Structure 1
Amino acid sequence: MNRIPSVDLRDFLSDDPKRKEKFTKEIGDAYEQIGFVALKGHFLSDELIDNLYAEIKKFFELPVDTKEKYEIEGIGGQRGYTSFGKESAKGKKEGDLKEFWHFGQYVENNPELEKVYPPNVMVDELPGFNEVGKETYKMLEKTAQYVLRALALHLDLEETYFDKYIKNGNSILRPIHYPPIKEEPKNAVRAAAHGDINLITLLMGAQGKGLQVQNHKGEWIDAIAEPDELMINVGDMLSRHTNNRLKSTIHQVTNPPKELWGTSRYSIPFFMHPVSEMPLDCLENCIDEEHPKQYDDITAGEFLHERLVELGLIKK
């Protein structure tokens, strides 16, 4: 496969069983073959997207010392600001050429979970920043819920199988700023080749060149979304849970050509995580003689902790 398939969520949401079945087959096949789709018909309005980009640009333009007061020690970067070059891909020494912010879950009707998740960090200088972040978080979470419902049907599970695991899940909305490149990077790129940790990732801001996906032949192909599309990919948790039937694909964000070094790039992924106690044991209907069980049993929380240690965001 040499291109990213495009699907329309409105097919799944329609009252027409054939359109719903068509969407389920298209997204299921795409995730078995390449692990990525471009999705139209999501729940983000143009106005919300414009407001979000305006607010995050204002934040990243704040003085460094102002941003750094929102970098919270001891929580592995789960909320608030992470400064330039702090995060690196698994197995890479060089820090990625980016800075970012994390919005986390807005817990509903679960006081115990509220004590577990770090609180969201409020930016005093930008009154609209947190409000627009929360609204975007909710709309992406809603979009992700329906994508996972389609995948549940594709896997011959009950349609709402994932609902109980993603309600109040440990999901993260991450506005990223890749600043202008001022000198020749030494072995560093904007985001080194990696797979995502979570169930699925919904990416805003894949409209320009930069994001690349590795197909099964090991070839890098450009993943460029239309203005009205989100790029959505399978993460390692979902790949593991489906015994690698759905593919978590390696991807990267390359540095631009030298003539574009002076430009910033913004992208905004939403990492859909389940609650920590979700078992990631390989689904029985994804195991057979041709596809023996590939992974040990583990919970989502245990798996996340392992990976955050590997990424250097949590110390052992």
Structure 2
Amino acid sequence: MSAIPSVDLQDFVSDNAERKEKFIKEIGSAFENIGFVALSGHFLSDDLVKNLYDEIKKFFDLPQELKDTYEIEGIGGQRGYTSFGKEHAKGKKEGDLKEFWHFGQYVQDDAKLEAEYPDNVQVKELPTFNAVGKETYQMLEKTAKYVLRALAIHLDLEETYFDDYIKNGNSILRPIHYPPITSEPKNAVRAAAHGDINLITLLMGAHGRGLQVKNHEGEWVDAIARPDQLMINVGDMLSRLTNNKLKSTIHQVVNPPKELWGTSRYSIPFFMHPVGDMPLNCLENCVDDAHPKQFEDITAGEFLHERLIELGLIKA
């Protein structure tokens, strides 16, 4: 049995009030207690998932010198390719044992944000790579919208509280390749212990051992989803907004046992970010005498900038 609770989004989007209430209660409780759920009933089709994995494997199999042409200077890795070992966890010197790609927002009806966000990078060698990435991005964004609606109700907010903040938000779809390990890593793992920056993360590809979550007792527990499920967790922005009522849980991707070092691992997180001017000031209904305010007022954009400096992706 997985230590991570399972929920079905179809309960929430159904017309049945009891099923909807059940989903809100289950996801609210999970996010207050361990900060993770395994979610089925999302908007990704099996064909879309298969197509995306096919495309990203083709990209990461390209010659290194060709991949390097898609690493764009001066944008902090926000779009395109980031090469192996570039990113490290907050407080760590060692780079994580991974390379990755970033798809970003497809802005609609907002010239200001369109000018502000970097353009998505087109891969010339793979004619369907970008179309498949865009469709996956939009289906994950749609899934995230309904999860946040359920959480808004759980927090005694209006159901669509988050809708305007996430429309055209600075969200990122990140296909990751953890290459085969060829020699004993010195203090490095595939992804060192960290909390996510954003509101919520939707993770494709948590189907085998590797992803671990730190529970309230300080123990590492395996987080394994079924093939039809996404793993969803609370990010630091949502934790700040809710005065830590919803928990941003520390997690990591550990190296496999030595006999599996020769294998690649792929995972694809979708980091749901709001627009940069969303205030992350602690919600009034999450602050009381028993739960004093824990965080300074800050906007999502300011918080993201701070964290990208800490991760080594942009210079102060």
TM-score by length of structure 1 reads 0.99
- After superposition, what is the alpha-carbon deviation per residue over 1:142-177, rounded to whole angstroms, capped at 9, x for unaligned? 000000000000000000000000000000000000
**Secondary structure of the structure 1 residue equivalent to 2:301:** helix
Corresponding residue for 2:283? 283
Q: Match for 1:158: what amino acid?
A: E
Considering only aligned residues, what root-mean-square deviation do their CA atoms show, in Å? Answer: 0.8
**CA-CA distance at 1:112 after TM superposition:** 1.1
5+ residue gaps, structure 1, are none
Distance 1:35 1:2 in 2: 14
| Aligned position for 1:210 | 210
Q: Distance in 1 between matches of 2:285 and 2:25?
A: 17
CA contact (8 A) 1:85 1:95 kept: yes
Equivalent residues in 2 for 1:1-20, closer than 5 Å: 3-20=3-20
User: Can you give the 5+ residue segments of structure 2 that lack an aligned partner in the other structure?
Assistant: none
Q: For each residue in 1:127-154, what CA deviation from the matched residue of structure 2 results, as whole angstroms up to 9, or x when unmatched?
A: 1100000000000000000000000000
Q: Tell me if the contact between 2:32 and 2:245 (Cα under 8 Å) persists in the aligned partners.
A: yes
Aligned AA (2:63): P
Aligned to 1:167: 167
Q: Is the 8 A contact 1:108 1:168 kept in 2?
A: yes
How has the CA–CA distance of structure 1 residues 2 and 47 changed in structure 2, closer, same or farther, with 3 Å as cutoff? closer
Q: Does the 8 Å contact 2:2/2:223 carry over to 1?
A: no
TM-score, normalization: structure 2? 0.99
Name 1:219's counterpart in structure 2: 219
Please give the alpha-carbon distance, in whole angstroms, between the structure 2 residues aligned to 1:4 and 1:187: 28
* 1:299 match: 299
Partner of 2:119: 119
1:56-71 aligned within 5 A? 56-71=56-71
Return the letter of the residue paired with 1:92.
K
3-state DSSP of counterpart to 2:249: coil
* 1:165-314 pair list within 5 angstroms: 165-314=165-314
Partner of 1:95: 95
Maintained 8 Å contact 2:177/2:266 = yes
Whether the aligned pair in 2 keeps the contact of 1:123 and 1:130 (CA below 8 Å) is: yes
What are the Cα deviations for residues 85-143 of structure 1, in whole angstroms up to 9, with x where unaligned? Answer: 00000000000000000000000001111000000000000011000000000000000
C-alpha distance in 1, partners of 2:117/2:218? 38
Q: Percent identity?
A: 81
- Contact 1:2 / 1:215 at 8 angstroms: preserved in 2? no
